[in-house]
Structure 1
Amino acid sequence: MRETPGITPGNKTEMSWIDRIIRFFLEKKIVAFLMILLFVGWGLAVAPFDWNLRGFPRDPVPVDAIPDIGENQQIVFTKWMGRSPQDIEDQITYPLTVALLGIPGVKTIRSYSMFGFSTIYVIFKENVEFYWSRSRVLEKLNSLPAGTLPEGVQPSLGPDATALGQIYWYTLEGLDKNGNPTGGWDPQELRTIQDWYVRYALLSADGVSEVASVGGFVKEYQIDVDPDAMRAYKVGLGEVVAAVKMSNVDVGARTIEVNKAEYIIRGIGFVKSLKDLENAVIKVNDNVPIYVKNVARVTLGPAPRRGALDKEGTEAVGGVVVVRYGENPLAAIKNVKKKIEEISPGLPKKTLPDGTVSQVKIVPFYDRTGLIYETLGTLDTALAEEILVTVIVVIIMVMHLRSSILISGLLPLAVLMCFIAMKTFKVDANIVALSGIAIAIGTMVDMGIVICENILKHLDSADPDQDRLEVIFRATSEVGSAVLTAVSTTVISFLPVFTMQAAEGKLFKPLAFTKTFALIASVIVALTIIPPLAHILFTRKEKRGI
């Protein structure tokens, strides 16, 4: 058998690293088949599309409709009820802003002073890790010098979410068994159900950072004092306030031993009803206790509010679900919906005067799932159609059925490898990222065409006694460096995109990443998978035709 220059035992060490890789996979076809199985299984497990794989383990790439172009920020929220915006600015916003500016990595700070509260947005540099910045902000807030803020004012850190974290809005409505609105629930009742039942249940769903209540009235105890009664009983307003505060306190004490048994002593003062407040003792005059009910009227009523939730012209009560930073928005919404299904049967119900049974239901009015599925559905269809058209074009132009099937069949493999890279490098699947794969399909298939065409050419011109493996190796090696160079120049052309910063970088980098992943995947397939399969599928003197 005639030896081929460059691959004889004597000069095998002169082969380039590309040639060594090609020869290794040609000689060790089992490795190539194991790679195919690995990439297919792993790619299906992390694919962002909602495929029904019948129990196949899934850990998909995080999915959203658009890239999150929000800034790397933390929010500090501070309440000081009843104070003017100027007081808030001078005594809360400005001192906090000055203190927070000293945190490492802070780029800028934006603040808003409103009536009764202050909101401060601490913007960090993009290279600062999100949870590291949260810990630094908390550290600074906990180490503020005494007297920095007014007495009783405590700043709080916002949820660990981004500016685009609102994924699900809902309202609480009374519905009959047929799903028709019934009414019969006042905003105060619905807000109480939202605050003390629904909110805590949805917070327990995986991936949820915050569930904010919106609309309705917060129920509170209201004490309306009678000035004439206070004058008659010689009671001051401060005494009434102090008595109310002390009435809602549980007091602990020591233990006593009676008949060799130990008893725990405690004073129970937790307010459970209006009567508990009404019977709170303000003071004692001539051994006669003066109760709150003697000088004031105690009722349950709505707390003052500024703003409301409107749904189709009607006041409503609801909540906003915010996804945690770094979580999969689509998976978080699914978890929220599962939790809603769990708690829905236990929501309160009542019988209205007309005999209709009305039960509180959670009714969504903003669900990002629809937008995500519409976006992914469009790209899923586009990718499938593009691959199909590419297959048809390859079959027609190459005019060789087996090579056309080989090229086209490995195209989905390269796409699955791209999904693996997206999962590994934490590139979320969205309309921009998946578009990078779509626009790379044509370039991906070019490499397979070049390799297969050269293999067919060498097989046609090879002597009958030549080893078919050596012919395929020589054909692949001949164009391998050129294919790799072509891909490298394309990847290098994306370097300016990778250097983009801020919002434009977050918007366009996913496309550059996915197209680069697709091109690299196609090179790997072309140099390691196609030659071994060509050695199995192709014979000598291949006849062109479909």
Structure 2
Amino acid sequence: MSTENNNNGASTNGASLPEEGKRKEFGLSTFSINNRISVLVLLVLIAIMGIVSYLTIPKESFPSINIPNIFVVTIYPGVSPEDMESLVTRKLEDELSNISDIKNMTSSSAEGYSNINLEFEPSVDIEDALQKVREKVDLAKPELPEDAEEPTVQEINLSEFPIMNVNLSGEYDEVILKEIAEDLQDKIEAIPSVLGVDLTGGTERDVQVDVDLAKMKYYNIAFGDIIQAISNENVTIPGGDISVGTKKFLLRIPGQYEDTKLLEDIVIKGENRSPIYVRDVAKVTFGFKERATYSELDDAPVITLGIKKRTGENILDTGNEVKAILDEAIPTLPPTTRYAITNDQSVDVINMVTNLENNIISGLILVVGVLLFFLGVRNSSFVGISIPMSMFLSFIILSALGITMNMIVLFSLILSLGMLVDNAIVVVENIYRYLEEGYERFEAAKKGTGEVAVPIIAGTFTTIAAFAPMIFWPGIVGQFMSYLPKTLIITLASSLFVGLVINPVICALFMTVEGQEAEAKLTPKG
């Protein structure tokens, strides 16, 4: 009787153990352990692709965002602010106010200057808004004064801000320095990743024609006649091409004058076979244009080249190419030519990237060092491996989504470092506990991971849920800051994948309990 009862009891316990073991296992982790060779191959691929993504992902100072502001600027030299308001600003505002989706419109009028700021709703396509504004400005042009400059329509684009300033100086004439700066400007603009180069400071030569009004009246000549005559003569005309044998030569007729005497000999018009020259009514001299921009460094005049980078290009590569051109050009310039680089944003990015690398290495050392006292050298390294693997996987995803390595992303990666090891610590420690209880390594990995899988998934998604609302933050600030939650969500999801897929396989293959010797063999099933 008792034997029967014992058999029944044994049968009941035997049936409950498999159910308990099955209940504790997590399907994804069990699948990865059973296919461990595939997971090891995946680990190597993630490491290689992560390194490649990290090296190739574009690095820049700030994320590229669309700022829904458009400016309409009109120049009318010599006009008072009151007249600018009545003659220009209000007439433009009357047309622009009919555009839909405008959130706010403000204007300011100064002497010879009108500026209208149109703020659109964040959801508006900025290109469509630009087109609508240009159409309304075209409708208002007939009502504007004829001698006012044509209104310019422009948007705010972060790529229009220079990533560095190159300041040139030399102990010689500023005209020569300006020519050197223009040559460097052409060379730097030839770099594919450079959007453009703004040149400020220095003086520019021009031709000054001083007209004698009395002589103009005597010869019955108008200002337009002089302007037309000089414009027609001072031009280079392309002459097509000519083929000679197997060679083709381009022809051009140079007509741009560099001598005042040649300009004075231009015929304005001829009456009764007696030509009237420019010298008969005016005096031609070479002078300098009125300075439009000033640039100084350390209280000394310089010419500044503001280098602008194309959107999505690597700021570090662009900066290095610019510096290479400068280092190559300086030895060929006059001996006193010097340059100084200011506002170099690539230096800030390099510092942030270096801080990220140092934090990854420091975090790896500290994690392994702390766990060394509890799990031993080998087992603590299983947790440490989760940091670089999570980062590599994050780099791959960031690159695939087209997210650049900017200040916000770098800050988010550094911020997430402390959270990357949480899942791995829980998984590795629980697997180690099962090994201490005498379970075989593969069984310990399956049960140890399965027992804590749901809690760490819930914990990870709780953290993700805390940051997720920031993605929907409206406005310009929301666009700018959205990269922080996106990056944190990607890194936390990557650490969860590493904790549930890669860490269990590594532990199943190599984890040991101190004082015990065991070996794991790769079976054909793996």
- State TM-score, norm by structure 1: 0.77
Please show how residues 95-244 of structure 1 align to structure 2 within 5 Å: 95-97=91-93, 99-100=95-96, 106-128=102-124, 132-133=127-128, 136=131, 140=135, 144=139, 147=142, 149-151=144-146, 153-158=149-154, 161-162=157-158, 165-174=161-170, 183-186=171-174, 188-195=175-182, 197-244=183-230
SS of residue matched to 2:343 = strand
How far apart are residue 489 of structure 1 and its match? 0.7
How far apart are residue 527 of structure 1 and its match? 0.4
Contact 2:319 2:346 in 1 (8 A): yes
How far apart are residue 325 of structure 1 and its match? 3.4
Paired residue for 1:518, among 477, 486, 491? 491
Aligned position for 2:309: 323
Contact 1:192 1:218 in 2 (8 A): no
Q: Does structure 1 residue 416 correspond to structure 2 residue 412?
A: no
How far apart are residue 84 of structure 1 and its match? 4.2
Q: Does structure 1 residue 366 correspond to structure 2 residue 373?
A: no
Per-residue CA deviation, residues 143-195 of structure 1 (Å, 9 max, x unaligned), is: 64762545474344558831782211122222xxxxxxxx1222x33334434
SS of residue matched to 2:291 = coil
Please show how residues 22-41 of structure 1 align to structure 2 within 5 Å: 22-41=29-48
Contact 2:60 2:346 in 1 (8 A): no
Paired residue for 1:440, among 397, 404, 416? 416
Distance 1:194 1:98, change over 3 A: farther
Per-residue CA deviation, residues 480-526 of structure 1 (Å, 9 max, x unaligned), is: 11110010111111133223233543554333233222211111001
Aligned position for 2:506: 533
Kindly provide the amino acid, as one letter, of the partner of residue 277 in structure 2: Y
Q: Distance in 2 between matches of 1:158 and 1:338?
A: 33
Contact 1:284 1:290 in 2 (8 A): yes
Distance 1:292 1:82, change over 3 A: farther
Distance 1:485 1:136, change over 3 A: same
Q: Does structure 1 residue 60 correspond to structure 2 residue 57?
A: yes
Per-residue CA deviation, residues 458-486 of structure 1 (Å, 9 max, x unaligned), is: 223346xxx64234212211111111001
How far apart are residue 367 of structure 1 and its match? 1.9
Distance 1:102 1:508, change over 3 A: same
Contact 1:456 1:542 in 2 (8 A): no
Q: Distance in 1 between matches of 2:31 and 2:103?
A: 51
Per-residue CA deviation, residues 97-117 of structure 1 (Å, 9 max, x unaligned), is: 555556665544454444445
Give the superposed CA RMSD: 3.8
Aligned position for 2:50: 43
Q: Distance in 2 between matches of 1:143 and 1:395?
A: 73
How far apart are residue 127 of structure 1 and its match? 4.1
- State TM-score, norm by structure 2: 0.80
Structure 1, gaps ≥5 residues long: 48-57, 175-182, 255-263, 350-356
How far apart are residue 531 of structure 1 and its match? 1.0
Higher mean C-alpha displacement, 19-28 vs 164-173? 164-173
Contact 2:201 2:293 in 1 (8 A): yes
How far apart are residue 221 of structure 1 and its match? 1.0
SS of residue matched to 1:325 = coil
Structure 2, gaps ≥5 residues long: 1-13, 241-249, 518-526
Q: Distance in 1 between matches of 2:134 and 2:483?
A: 34
Q: Does structure 1 residue 312 correspond to structure 2 residue 298?
A: yes
How far apart are residue 252 of structure 1 and its match? 9.5
Aligned position for 1:452: 428
Distance 1:125 1:115, change over 3 A: same
Paired residue for 1:248, among 234, 239, 242? 234
Aligned residue pairs total 493
Percent of aligned pairs sharing the same letter: 24
Kindly provide the amino acid, as one letter, of the partner of residue 380 in structure 1: E
How far apart are residue 364 of structure 1 and its match? 2.2
Q: Distance in 1 between matches of 2:475 and 2:409?
A: 17
Kindly provide the amino acid, as one letter, of the partner of residue 379 in structure 2: S
SS of residue matched to 2:27 = helix
How far apart are residue 368 of structure 1 and its match? 2.0
Kindly provide the amino acid, as one letter, of the partner of residue 454 in structure 1: N
